[in-house]
Amino acid sequence: MNFSGTTYDAELDCQRLTRQYQRAYDCMADGRWRTLEALATVVGAPTHSVSARLRDMRKKRFGENLVERKRIAGGLYEYRLIVNTWSDLI
């Protein structure tokens, strides 16, 4: 997978982030709504990390998937992945 960022070091981070991404994608691919906390529990990663993986899912190099967000209470949101089935990147 092709991650990026100013602090990204492929040698140190690629395997970990790829596993994190795959676990998050596998969980979210069912199209169900989940909070970041629920996703973090399944993935076994901090909420800020799974939030970053959801942002990755929107990027062209990760398939340009749709990640919907809805407010459920105060500042609490749920997220749902709609997999882009027309992209040749998947």
Q: What does the pLDDT read at residue 85? A: 87
Could you give the CA distance from residue 7 to residue 69 in angstroms, rounded to a whole number?
27
Q: Tell me if 86 sits within 8 A of 61, measured CB to CB.
A: no
Going by the DSSP 8-state scheme, the letter that residue 40 receives in this structure is H
Q: What does the pLDDT read at residue 87? A: 54
Asked if the structure places residue 12 within a domain, the reply is no
Number of domains in the chain: 1
Tell me the CATH number at 84: 1.10.10
Asked if the structure places residue 37 within a domain, the reply is yes
Could you give the CA distance from residue 30 to residue 5 in angstroms, rounded to a whole number?
29
Q: What does the pLDDT read at residue 88? A: 55
Asked if the structure places residue 4 within a domain, the reply is no
Asked if the structure places residue 3 within a domain, the reply is no
Strand order in the sheet with 66-73: 34-35, 76-82, 66-73
Could you give the CA distance from residue 60 to residue 50 in angstroms, rounded to a whole number?
18
3-state secondary structure of 21: helix
Q: Residue 15 above 70 pLDDT?
A: yes
Asked if the structure places residue 20 within a domain, the reply is no
User: What confidence tens digit (pLDDT) does each residue in 17-57 have?
Assistant: 999 999 999 999 999 999 999 999 999 999 999 999 999 99
3-state secondary structure of 30: coil
Asked if the structure places residue 6 within a domain, the reply is no
pLDDT band for position 63 (cuts 50, 70, 90): very high
Asked if the structure places residue 70 within a domain, the reply is yes
Host domain of residue 88: 32-90
